Amino acid sequence: MKADNMSILSNILTFFIIFLLNSSSSSSNAAVQDFCVGDLTGPENPAGYPCKNISKVTANDFYFPDFLTPHITYLPKFNASATLGFTPYFPGVNGLGLSLVYFAIEVGSFVPSHTHPRANEVIVMIEGSIIAGFISSNNKAYYKTLQKGDVFIFPQGLLHFEVNVGNITAKILAAFEGSSPGIQGTIMSLTGNDLPSDVVEKVSLIFDKDMVKKFKAMFGGTN
Ligand SMILES: *[C@@H]1O[C@H](CO)[C@@H](O)[C@H](O)[C@H]1NC(C)=O
Ligand SMILES: *[C@@H]1O[C@H](CO)[C@@H](O)[C@H](O)[C@H]1NC(C)=O
Ligand SMILES: *[C@@H]1O[C@H](CO)[C@@H](O)[C@H](O)[C@H]1NC(C)=O
């Protein structure tokens, strides 16, 4: 009995000694576990980019200056512009399961219906007024007119949109629970590809030939 207890105790001690040796020998890598700044030269996979060598990570990897100036993308077709705070544009969010987008919609314009296949989204109105909404998978539309300070949620994968209904540029901050939420525009996806026009015409249910051609030209599609 006593001998059993001794051997249990010695097993436990051995376990802790091995544990301490392991953790001290890998302590130089410990910080790698805290985050995984994206190494943009590596291949992107569904989990994101491989981690940048920790010795090369600086505060700048977690810093995005002047985010509320839409300087990354201008979308002339929609008179809207955006700052994209997800990978690859913001390597610090890689692997953290979050990201941020700022967008500005000019008077009279809109963000056409689209989905984010890999993330839920929450928006905060910074300025202006929009109608924001989504359509559930049983075709119910949930929408609201938002003013400065209001918040709205778009659940993952559901069609959603924003329409500026105010007299000033609408400014919106969006957060995603995913560092690479993905964007799939409803009409852009149908037409911005090489799927033959007659197939697009059939499967869209609403397009005629001229409409297919018009949107193929608009979104870079062929065939
Ligand atoms: C990270 O960078 C350091 C310093 O340049 C280098 O010694 C180390 O081998 C690198 N580690 C990896 C995994 O590339
Ligand atoms: C974008 O703005 C231009 C110039 O004001 C206007 O002609 C065009 O209709 C607008 N497009 C949209 C989608 O609002
Ligand atoms: C926009 O301006 C028009 C004319 O000045 C005014 O009638 C209307 O109430 C304004 N709309 C909003 C949402 O502020």
> In the chain, what are the domain boundaries?
3-178, 183-223
222, pLDDT greater than 90: no
Helical axes 209-218 vs 197-204, angle rounded to 10°? 110
Query: Which ligand gives the minimal distance to the CA of 28?
Result: 1
DSSP E strands: which ranges in 63-183? 73-75, 80-85, 99-105, 110-115, 121-127, 129-135, 141-147, 151-154, 159-164, 170-176
pLDDT value at position 77? 77
Give the mean pLDDT of 122-146.
97
Token code pair at residue 17: 């000694």
Q: Which is the closest atom of ligand 1 to the Cα of 56?
A: 2
Exposure class string for 59-92: b at 16+ Cβ within 10 A, else e: eebeebeebeebebeeeeeebbbbbbbbbebbbb
pLDDT value at position 18? 46
User: What is the CATH code of the structural domain delimited by 3-178?
Assistant: 2.60.120.10
Higher pLDDT among residues 167 and 5, named by residue:
167
Binding site membership of 129 for ligand 3 (Cβ less than 6 Å): yes
Query: Which ligand gives the minimal distance to the CA of 80?
Result: 2
Centre of ligand 1 from the C-alpha of residue 25, in Å:
16
pLDDT value at position 121? 97
Centre of ligand 3 from the C-alpha of residue 147, in Å:
13
Specify the residue with its C-alpha closest to ligand 2, atom 3.
Answer: 79
Q: Which residues share a beta bridge with 171? A: 104, 127
pLDDT value at position 179? 87
pLDDT value at position 205? 85
pLDDT digits (tens, 9 = 90+) for 65-123: 999 987 667 777 788 999 999 888 999 999 999 999 999 999 999 999 999 999 999 99
Give the mean pLDDT of 150-176.
97
pLDDT digits (tens, 9 = 90+) for 17-63: 444 444 444 444 544 478 999 999 989 887 889 999 999 999 999 99
Lowest mean pLDDT among 72-81, 111-120, 173-182, 204-213: 72-81
- CA 149 → CA 43, 69, 80, 99, 146, distances in Å? 39, 18, 20, 20, 8
Centre of ligand 1 from the C-alpha of residue 28, in Å:
11
Tell me whether residue 116 is exposed, middle or buried, using C-beta atoms within 10 angstroms of its C-beta: 0 to 12, 13 to 18, 19 or more. buried
Instruction: Output helix, strand, coil percentages for the chain, rounded to the nearest 5.
Output: 30, 30, 40
Cβ contact 171:148 at 8 Å: no
Higher pLDDT among residues 27 and 128, named by residue:
128
